[in-house]
Structure formats: structure tokens, C-alpha cells
Amino acid sequence: MRTGAVPTMSPNMTRRRFIAIAATATLLPGAAAAQPRRFEWQGGALGAEAKIVLYHPDKAAAEAAIKACLGEISRLENEFSLYRAGSALNRLNAAGQLTAPSHDMRRLLQLCRQYCDLSQGAFDPSIQPLWQLYAEHFVNHPDDLAGPSPDAIRAVQQHIDYRRIAIGAEAIHLEPGMALTLNGIAQGYITDRVADLLRARGWSDVLLNLGEIRALPGRPWSVALPGRVATLDLTNAAVATSAGAGSPFAAGEGPHHLLHPVTGRSARHYAAVSVLARTAAAADALSTALYLSPPERAAELLRRGGGKQAWLRDTNGTGRHLVV
């Protein structure tokens, strides 16, 4: 089954991973008379391609579950998406404040803060003004691979500091000039919420790929990571990858979207970082944070951030595998 539509290309879309997913479709032996069938939904979420795969004997049940998932995705896109006019995040960025924020907005911003602290500011949702500067630069000067001028970067950097996001129960405030992006973590968060929703309804044997990949308990799913031949058996865990290549800014060796808030430049330690963690939000935030942090801090960051494994691939093709 295929419902929904692939969204129009958005700036953040092609940074997305080149990950092939295949389910090991080993049916449970001795299952009930009705054999589970595989149902798939493909569409878009948060400006990325999305896919839900689930096994169930009953088509109506599968459709109902997917409908509930889509409601949840849409609800959270109304919160976190930069691509939806009138989303809570856009309103916050426009007005500098958001009154009566949802639980989800508070939860996600507090979670961001944890990873900001853990990564000593390498991961920072208030990087949005810098990202906008780069985006404008490459719109106006597509061939200027040097990127924005140091003065321009310095000018926007004064607005980057996650500690100046005031997260209150009744309102969230930003200082003038600040703006947030949750693209480094919202996909993971949404994936987790959808996973929680399905689990509460009693589902297992589900694979979610809403930009980040998460498998519910049950059958193992084989997931291929970029740059690795062997696939990974994923069950009751999540995996996320951050890769600089294929950024919307420029092809080849030019700047990409994974910008470091302190240097104001694209991070250059790795070609790609994949993280396996219990939750998709953790995998998502850690893959971004690891990508931006110096390699010598990787192991500690992974451990303290709750990651389980990380695959760090250098630009020259050599790789490192960390296991906590």
C-alpha cells in the first residue's frame, strides 16, 4: 500500500542518508492461523522521505495504525517543522516567543539542551541564523565556495547560544536575532513518539524510517549503513547517520550543512557518522554532535549521551567503530 506523497524538495532533504533498508521477512513460526502480512507506507515527513513497514494479519488494523501514525507525524510537524508556515517553531522564530508551548516543544528543547551541554556547544539548535546566512550566500553566489565572509559569520554568531533560550512552562523566549532549528533532532524525536504510540497500541514488528530509523521489539530488521558492506541487525533500537556530502549548499568539497557554531564553518572530521542508540532522538542528536566534535572526544560523548555504538568514517575512507 502506498499513500501520501513524496514532498517537494526542501533545502534539508538531500543531506539525508543513503541507507537501504530491507526487512528479513522471516515469519514467526507457529504463529496464529492468520499469517502476518507486510504493509508499507511511504511518504514524507519533516522534509525527508519517510517509510513505515509493519506486519499484521489484518489490513484494516494496519491502515488504522498508519493513520494514527500520520496524525502524530502531522501534529509534531506542526510543532517542529521549519517547512510548515505557522508551525510552533516558526512562530517562535518570528515572534521571539511562544506562549503556552506544547509538552512536546518543552520536552524537545530540554532534550536539546542536554545534548548541547554534553557536546560542549557543538550541537546547538540556535545555529539557525548561521544556516540562513549560508543558505542566502549560496543562493546569491552559488559559485563562491569560500562561503560567507568572516565578518558576516561573526555578526550572526553573537546570536548563537543555546543557553539564552528561556524554556518556561508558560512561554519560551528567544533573544532578539535568535532563531532555532530542530532539524538535528526532531526527526528522531518524532520517530520515538510514533514508536511509543504504536507500542502503546500493542504493536511490535514495525520498522519506522522518518528520517531516522527505529525498529520496534520483535523481528530483526537488516539495515545497511553508508560505507559499510555488512548490514546491521536492528531490533528495539534506533540508528541515525549524519553525512556532510550531498549538502544543499554546494557539490564536492564545498561547505555543507553541518556547521559548527564556534568556528562558523562546516565540520571536517568525518565523511559520515552513524550512531546506534536506544532511542531515535539520542541517535539523531549524537550523530550530529559526534560529527561536529573533535574525534578525541567521540568515545566519551557517545557514552555520556546514551549511544551504544558509533561508526565514524573519515573523508579518506578509513573507519572507526566505537562500542560502549
Partner 1 sequence: MIFSMIFSKARSTIDARALHLALILALISPLILFAGPSWAKQGERIGPETLAQVFPGADRAGSLAGKPLAASVFKGGARIGYIFSTQDVVGSVGFSGKPIDIMVGITNKGLITGALLRSHNEPILVIGIPDQALRDFVAGFAGVDIHQPGQVRQVANRLGALPDAISGATISSSVIADSVVRAARTVARSRGLLAAVQAKVRLDRETYEPADWQELRADGSIAHLILNHGNIEQAYRDRVAIPGAEFPGDQAPEELYSELYTALITPPRVGQNLLGPQAFNRLLRDMSPKDQAIFIAGNGIYSYKGTRYRRSGLFDRIQIVQGDKIIRLVKKHYHFVESVKIATAPSLRETGVFVLPADTGFNPLAEWRLELLVSRETKQGGLVHLDFPLSYVLPARYRLGGDVKTAAQTDNQMDRVLFYLQQQLTQGEPALWLRNWRDRVGRIATLLGLLAILSAILVFQDNLVQRQRLYRSVRLVYLTVTLVWIGWYAGAQLSVINVLTFVQSLLSGFRWEFFLLDPLIFILWGYVAVTLLFWGRGVFCGWLCPFGALQELLNEGARLLRIPQITVPFALHERLWPIKHIIFLGLFAVSLHSTIMAIAGSEVEPFKTAISMHFVRHWPFVAYVGGLLFLGLFIERFFCRYLCPLGAALAIPARLRMFEWLKRRFQCGRECRLCAVNCTVQAIHPDGSINPNECIHCLACQANFYDNGKCPPLVSRRKRQEERAAKQAAYVERAS
Which residues bind to partner 1, rule: CB under 8 A? Answer: 68, 71-72, 74-75, 78-79, 100, 102-104, 106-107, 110-111, 113-114, 117-118, 169-170, 192, 196, 200, 277-279, 281-282, 303-307
Reference 77, options 112, 42, 102; nearest CA is: 102
As measured in angstroms, the least distance from the Cβ of 58 to partner 1 is 18
Backbone angles phi, psi at 202, to 5 degrees: 90, 15
Residue 38 or 106: the one with the smaller Cβ distance to partner 1 is 106
> What type of residue is 29?
P
Q: How far is the CB of 43 from partner 1 (least distance, A)?
A: 14
CA dist 142 and 195 (Å) reads 40
Burial class of 223 by CB neighbour count within 10 A (0 to 12, 13 to 18, 19+): buried
Q: How far is the CB of 117 from partner 1 (least distance, A)?
A: 6
Residues in the chain, overall count = 324
Sole residue written with cell 531490533: 235
Q: What's the min distance (Å) between Cβ of 241 and partner 1?
A: 17
The smaller minimum CB distance to partner 1, of residues 193 and 256, is found at 193
Looking at beta carbons only, is 79 or 148 nearer to partner 1?
79
- The smaller minimum CB distance to partner 1, of residues 153 and 298, is found at 298
Q: DSSP code of 145?
A: T
Structure letter (DSSP) for residue 266:
B
Do 271 and 227 form a contact (C-beta atoms < 8 A)?
Answer: yes
Q: Dig out the grid coordinates for 79 from the structure.
A: 510543532
Closest distance to partner 1 from the beta carbon of 68 (Å): 8
Q: State the Cα–Cα distance between residues 89 and 179, nearest whole angstrom.
A: 9
* Minimum CB distance to partner 1, residue 314 (Å): 26
